[in-house]
Amino acid sequence: MPKVQSHENATGAEPVVFDNVSKTYPDGSIGVQDINLTCEAGQITVFVGPSGCGKTTTLRMINRMIEPSDGQVFIGDTDTSTLDQTTLRRGIGYVIQSAGLFPHRTIIDNIATVPLLLGANRRQARADALELMTKVGLDQDMAKKYPHQLSGGQQQRVGVARPLASNPPVLLMDEPFSAVDPIVRSDLQAELLRLQSELAKTVVLVTHDLDEAIMLADKLVLFEQGGRIAHEGTPEDLLLRPASAFVRDFTGDSGIRWLSTLSTSELEPGKARPVEPDLVQVEDTDWFLTLDEHEAPLLWQQREGATVTVQVPCRSTYTHGQDPVRVAFDSAVLSPVSLAVATDASNRFLGFSGMDDFSAVIAAERRKPRV
């Protein structure tokens, strides 16, 4: 986890600080009450919680799409209420669920919108936009296309690239990935983490998906009914040390979810005896794993001598050091010998990991001192 810091970080990102902030809507509805919270500079803070508990209200008070009724919101040392809204929003990127692109502008012009509005040189703005397309994983061939010619996931990548064009220190994301299918969604999540490791913005993100929150968050903020914060901390804090019964209920299956925060890099895949270039045996068993010509896992086989008696496809593997222990656990549960199949980033077979290996990682993690 990145080290917590409250002041401007090396990349110029600044913290967002809520000081006793409340919002009551004109009809008397309570949006949030007494929010005291720091979204640390250069980190991802994720708001989760049941519907109607104030996540979006809190997010939108940062760029003053919603004005607080009480209290102050700071970006760095600046009280946001002292800035005019245009100046404030220039420093804050905003990504929404449906990408919110201009339908009649090309992708490149969509991305370059804000720099052009601010008077940037057209050629430079477009060159920057092309570079950003690559950064968010979009093919530059798409530059001249219109939003409706792109898939939902591609549009959402443009939705992320557009605010980044003005290089804002703060990026707000309201359910950014909820309109796309699960596979695209996990690609976009991985892309966001990769981008963030490079850009280190102060990101504040709202999601309904607790697993997404656990994957992305440096700090998780769980809201509860009445617009109050039930618990804030690292994902591990919420999962293993819930502050209340509400937090415990909300984070159900917390032990399994916690495995999403543990790296597989401490596992040492083994237990495999090479038989032929494309065949390994699980040590001390009559089970074998066949490999294809690129050494990628292919089939589980049970053998009696040279006869294959059972054969099932190997459908679940984990990428060693890249996937979390939860993925390895899943692979073990789905394998006929209760062993996870480890591969390298090129999907080449590395070895097997078992429940005892996971237990060792969990025990080691539990022994680590808490800060």
Residue 98 in the binding site for ligand ATP (CB under 6 A): no
Cα–Cα distance between 240 and 251 in angstroms, integer?
Answer: 10
CB 53 to ligand ATP: min, Å: 4
49 or 93: CB nearest ligand ATP: 49
Pairing of strands 219-224, 228-233: antiparallel
Residue 55 in the binding site for ligand ATP (CB under 6 A): yes
52 or 100: CB nearest ligand ATP: 52
49 or 153: CB nearest ligand ATP: 49
135 or 228: CB nearest ligand ATP: 228
CB 232 to ligand ATP: min, Å: 15
Cα–Cα distance between 158 and 164 in angstroms, integer?
Answer: 10
What does DSSP assign to residue 245?
Answer: H
Question: Alpha carbon of 151 to those of 73, 111, 145, 148, 286: distances in Å?
Answer: 37, 16, 12, 8, 47
The residue from 22, 33, 57, 113 that contacts ligand ATP (CB under 6 A) is: 57
Which residue in 88, 40, 41 sits closest to 61, CA to CA? Answer: 88
Residue 52 in the binding site for ligand ATP (CB under 6 A): yes
Residues in Cβ contact with 148 at an 8 Å cutoff, skipping those fewer than 6 apart = 103
Helices 182-199 and 152-164 meet at what angle, rounded to 10?
A: 20
The residue from 5, 38, 56, 316 that contacts ligand ATP (CB under 6 A) is: 56
Q: Around Cβ 364, how many Cβ atoms within 10 Å?
A: 11
* Sheet with 92-96: strands ordered across: 92-96, 170-174, 202-206, 44-48, 219-224, 228-233
CB 82 to ligand ATP: min, Å: 24
Lay out the site mask for ligand ATP across 261-300 (x = CB under 6 A, - = otherwise).
Answer: ----------------------------------------
Say if residue 7 is exposed, middle or buried (CB neighbours under 10 Å; 0-12, 13-18, 19+): exposed
Lay out the site mask for ligand ATP across 191-230 (x = CB under 6 A, - = otherwise).
Answer: ------------------------------------x---
The residue from 53, 95, 138, 247 that contacts ligand ATP (CB under 6 A) is: 53
Sign, Cα dihedral of 116, 118, 119, 124: negative
Lay out the site mask for ligand ATP across 24-43 (x = CB under 6 A, - = otherwise).
Answer: -x-x-x-x------------
27 or 284: CB nearest ligand ATP: 27
Sign, Cα dihedral of 123, 92, 160, 327: positive
Query: Where does this chain touch ligand ATP (CB under 6 A) — which range of 51-59, 94-102, 184-192, 214-222?
Result: 51-59
Both tokens of 189, joined, read 């999540």
Residue 102 in the binding site for ligand ATP (CB under 6 A): no
How many of the chain's residues bind ligand ATP (CB under 6 A)? Answer: 13
49 or 169: CB nearest ligand ATP: 49
Q: Around Cβ 354, how many Cβ atoms within 10 Å?
A: 19
Interface with ligand ATP (CB under 6 A): 25, 27, 29, 31, 49, 51-57, 227
